[in-house]
Chains A and B, each alone.
Chain A
Amino acid sequence: MPEEADLRDISRSEIIELNLGPHHPSTHGVFRAVVELDGEMVVDVVPHLGYLHRGYEKTCENKHYHQVIPLAERCDYMGASSNSLCYCLTLEKMLDVEVPERAQVIRVIMAELSRIFSHLFWLGTHGHDVGAMTPLFYMLREREEIMNLFELTAGGRLMPNYMRIGGLIRDLEEGFVERLQSFTEHFDRRVDEYETLLTKNAIYMDRTKGIGVLPLEEAIALGASGPMIRGSGLAWDIRKSEPYSGYEQYQFDVPVETGCDVYSRYLVRVAEMRQSNRILKQAIDRLPEGPIRAASPGVVFPPQEEIYTKMESLIHHFMLVVEGLKPLVGEYYQTIESARGEMGCYLVSDGGSKPYRLKWRAPAFVNLETLARMSRGYFFADLIAILSSIDIVLAEVDR
């Protein structure tokens, strides 16, 4: 009968539009995506951003240069010290201020601790997204130890606000180096523990190998940097190609994988944690004595003791706090290798005490553009794994 034949032949397929977020346990923050699904296969992903847009760039235009430092730290709240490092380096280049050796080594320590801090959280939440809930609790234990170290520097567990233009705010506390030493000694074994949980785990490999492939040419065209591009085969690390803050004096490898998938990015990040530990050990050995802030009156805060004894220091301090420092007219772009990739600060100065324009090149913002390219044709469950492998921090994406 014609009707029966018609009924058997009807296979109607529609594209379902599914709204993911902004409140969702797996999106690592307030991220919203409209996913077009054909059954379980992803046809397209359209991200909708801006749910954490806090007007960072406009606010910075109304603050003195020193007042921007805590604002900058809250941009990438996973590794807060690397943000203030990038900003302070930009200002130091613009003002032509040379940071003393001890401050440079301590800055490297803070930057590497921030990198480990960020990668640990990524590891825990990525494992949680894929289904492995154990690494989350292990790495939160590790992060408490690092937060103790941050607290020893300047009092803040998450945002220490330790860096200043020209150096650091104060010298290291009494027990810091010993604590850091014991941390670096046992951290390698901890990373081995995490690897036994995931690296050769058959379920994890099934869920992540061959998923979310981003070929190298497309990664470059879409502006991906950091572990995204190192997982696709290019050994590009700004610490090696354009070194800053004394990184050329340290010996470390740049881990590269050629798989271009979620698994390769996982391997790259775990290897980076080991290399950061290596840098930390070298930094502890290398730590010299000396001042922790450049002596550049008019732009850098004078040492605390001198304010109470010398008149000029008091006046300089007063002018810096009330009026702020005034760089020359000009613009500069400084990049660092943050945990997510190329983080940059483009600063335009008009000679006044507030930035004329501050543009923050956030790596997570640019890396997130690759999401649509990487998820087409995979299952919806893989989309969550792919999203977590990009390692986004919404405060940086939305600024």
Chain B
Amino acid sequence: MNQESIGEKLLAKFGPDVIRTAVTFRDQVAVTVAKERILDVCKFLKEDPELAFNFLSFVAGVDRYPETPRFEVVYQLYSLKRNHRFRIKALVEESEPGSAVIDSVASIWPTANWHERETAEMFGMTFRNHPDPRKLLLPEDWTCHPLRKDFPLYGTDEDTPDLRSKAGSQGI
């Protein structure tokens, strides 16, 4: 199926309240979905026999600072049976620090586990019902979120020091 018809099928099933916008660039379509219904949309995408998106390539975050809503979570899907790809996004606002929350899709595609852990630590988002919400790539005692646009590239001496303390507290 080509990507526009997938978008139309989604719109027909869920309506324009949930399927907010669809952007076509070159030959790829990205559909923005209401974040409250992300689990229903993903389940439909996986289980519908015509769509059959059983492979999740990645889950990524994009920081749109200073626009609101601030974060975008991108899900890239692929169907092994039908050989078509699709991309859905959800906008997540952050009204005060720590309030960027969205449901985790790890119950639908188990591969989302590590992708969501990385997105959560890099942007400061929370994924509800995630089976293992720990840091993945950054040292355990860092509290900063590097991929945010207002975080400096070189880090800061308080947030990203070479060694946290003399006693090697990073738990090797």
Contacts and interface: CB of A to CB of B under 8 A. Distances in A.
Question: A and B: partners?
Answer: yes
B58 A346 contact: yes
Contact of A332 (B28, B55, B58): B28
A359 B114 contact: no
Interface in B130-158: 135-139, 146-147, 153
Interface in A228-266: 234, 236, 241-242
A49 B136 contact: yes
A194 B137 CA distance: 37
Contact of A223 (B56, B63, B139, B153): B56
Contacts of B115: 366
A49 B117 CA distance: 12
With a 10 A CB-CB cut-off, give which of A223, A236, A328, A344 has the most chain B CB atoms.
A223
Given A50-B138, A369-B114, A332 B25 contact: yes
Interface residues of A, number: 40
A397 B76 CA distance: 19
Contacts of B80: 220, 234, 236
B109 interface: yes
A24 interface: no
B149 to A, nearest CB: 8
Interface in A45-101: 49-50, 53, 55, 57-59, 61-62, 93-94, 96
Given A50-B139, A94-B26, A369-B113, A59 B87 contact: no
B109 A50 contact: no
A222 B110 contact: yes
B111 A55 contact: no
Nearest to A59: B153
A328 B26 CA distance: 11
A380 B172 CA distance: 21
A117 interface: no
A351 to B, nearest CB: 12
Interface residues of B, number: 34
A359 B60 contact: yes
Nearest to A366: B111
Given A50-B138, A342-B57, A346-B76, A55 B25 contact: no
B114 A366 contact: yes
A365 interface: yes
B87 A333 contact: yes
Nearest to B60: A359
Contacts of B76: 333, 344, 346, 361
A393 interface: no
Contact of B137 (A53, A61, A242, A348): A53
Interface string A324-366: 0000101111010000001010101000000011010100011
A190 B57 CA distance: 36
Nearest to B59: A359
A221 interface: yes
B2 to A, nearest CB: 13
Contacts of A366: 58, 111, 114-115
A58 B147 contact: yes
A398 interface: yes
A344 B57 contact: yes
B51 interface: no
B6 interface: no
Interface in A159-204: none
Interface string B58-75: 101011000000000010
B132 to A, nearest CB: 9
A330 B25 contact: yes
B165 interface: no
Q: Among A220, A359, A365, which residue has the most Cβ atoms of chain B within 10 A?
A: A359
A196 B167 CA distance: 52
Nearest to A368: B114
Given A94-B26, A241-B83, A369-B111, A223 B57 contact: yes
Interface in B54-111: 54-58, 60, 62-63, 74, 76, 80, 83, 85, 87, 109-111
B54 A220 contact: yes
Nearest to A333: B76
B26 A330 contact: yes
B30 interface: yes
Given A49-B137, A332-B26, A348 B62 contact: yes
Given A53-B137, A223-B56, A331 B109 contact: no
A315 B53 CA distance: 47
B52 to A, nearest CB: 11
A57 B137 contact: no
A332 B3 CA distance: 13
For the complex of A and B, 5 pairs with smallest distance between CB atoms = A223-B111, A330-B25, A50-B137, A359-B60, A53-B137
22 contacts: A50-B135, A50-B137, A50-B139, A58-B147, A61-B153, A221-B110, A223-B109, A223-B111, A242-B85, A331-B28, A332-B28, A333-B57, A342-B57, A346-B60, A346-B74, A346-B76, A348-B62, A356-B62, A359-B60, A366-B58, A369-B113, A369-B114
